[in-house]
Structure 1
């Protein structure tokens, strides 16, 4: 039996807490930074509901920086939540921080926090987008240590964690396997083959750890692993921690047999994905479309089989507002705009992950397929981007070679599981 400890940092936007001094009649506008008095009021609510003593930190309001008690419970301002995104009635953004706790205790505390703040999280009813932007960072250790980064990269299917959460495709939510797949595709496009071994994965994960918050699994924390796959919606309305983290908790990181099997699976997926990209690269076009409605340079769009599937620029939202999916004249070209696409952030050529545009497109197609497969139980209405049809071709190619495109099937079902 292993001991799994969970601590979390949850960002939430709350209302006036039922306190006249925080009402808009009194403060006139939402807070850019939650005041010390506001954080203390949230701490009082949490202390009453949970039985733990919640504290605030003086540092955000100009006090001397003091190291937080690693066993303490804290409420502090959250600087990344901008009032411009608040809905009517929201007053301030806070971050709620817990120490590491046994899995069952952490989930019980989560339920207590949910009960304490439920009346004050307005946007779940009126506009889910606000707290969808808020993060839920989970700090996890197994027997007092973070999982081995190399075994994590090979054995944990991070796509199964994030699918259906609304955070698919975010730059800071990338899976470890993304860098492997991108490198494999680019190697194949250059006539080479990426050999995935422990040395390669070790170097990759060391490089990723230096980048800190650029990926979903942050290995720069030392004794614990920080996960950024989930958001506030999952915290407030999601499944239990055991269910949400099943793709991690089900992995026996000590099993050499499971690791060897996972390495073969990763190599097989990378090889087939790379081969498919080489055989089908001519179906991809990166084109420029002149937008006469703006005084900007031409914008770059991705075309798959002649249809624009996504943009590398944020103006895709403007482009979509002028079409219902039928062929249309835009600028100087007749093009078909695929409606419902939300891939602008993932198609940006992020310097942290690299990868050629063609490599990213094929990887995104495979990821779209994975998101659609995994999201069915969590978000029945989830619609993967239109690149999913290309992703289905990749998945079929994997299955034809006896390689499972998703977790939990074939030989993977017989992998040893961790007992918690």
Structure 2
């Protein structure tokens, strides 16, 4: 059984083709700069060196045509009959979708209805789905939602202290994101600890350019740092995370700028980038090593905000079996892991300095304490393929 996973962005399409009998990646690639004069298509077939092609790709239709051309030329996909299904990443499922969904016209309409909740992401996700249906009409298509994992949060965790009609009529609530990653590493953490997932309590930290922290009780999300949108929560690469909401009114009055301009500021020009001018953690570390005070401040702020969430979620869970670091930063930044966990001995957390420098892949325990501290390589594409397969089997 082969499953293709698509993640369509506004100017990119990321994809992976899986052989589901052993969860191996047959080919993975990224088409970016769609709509520009010179788009780039990078891809790796199993056991082969990465290839890069440059060409004009006018739109997502042309991008998917190029994708299927490569799959066909590689011999990995003779025709649509070789595909069991296509799994699509969809950022926001609102309150409609607690599980993956076989895509029907009704499901497409419900995803479309969530666009106001994720105007930067869901339109692109929809475009990828629509083009895949046009080009592979006989292949089942499955939507897998980033928000679905967090639907187990209790109402006192997901509701905001706003007038009730805003929840009833506008569905203003905490939804949470990165759920596919949090759910995937939770399963691996339970396996590593030798515990049933349904008896495992975790604090998972997905740290990339976007970042979120989740409290998992008995295998289920009970709280998470991102909210109605991915802007809330910990400090991120370009997003501010938690701030006093009155700052928005203050900036509007004093600078005479629009809500749209403030939204762009908070999403794209804040976080680490706002503090030190860089959003790539590797570049920030280099600046800090050269004694750049703003870079040092950005690192200190980033680690401090994460530590606050770790402490808060300890209070929520009472018993924690493991802290889990994942995502590009979580998996690779030894300084950050050690700094986040410093002085947490009272919570049963201590890191082994040597183990932390070079954690084993794909899963390692770097702790020297009662509470395990795990570094786990996430694989959102594989998790989407697994969920798509389960959805397909449930409806057959």
TM above 0.5, yes or no, is no
TM-score calculated relative to the size of structure 2: 0.29
TM-score calculated relative to the size of structure 1: 0.28
Compare relative contact order (CA 8 Å, sep 6+) and give the higher one, 1 or 2: 1
Work out which of the two has the higher radius of gyration on C-alpha atoms and give 1 or 2.
1
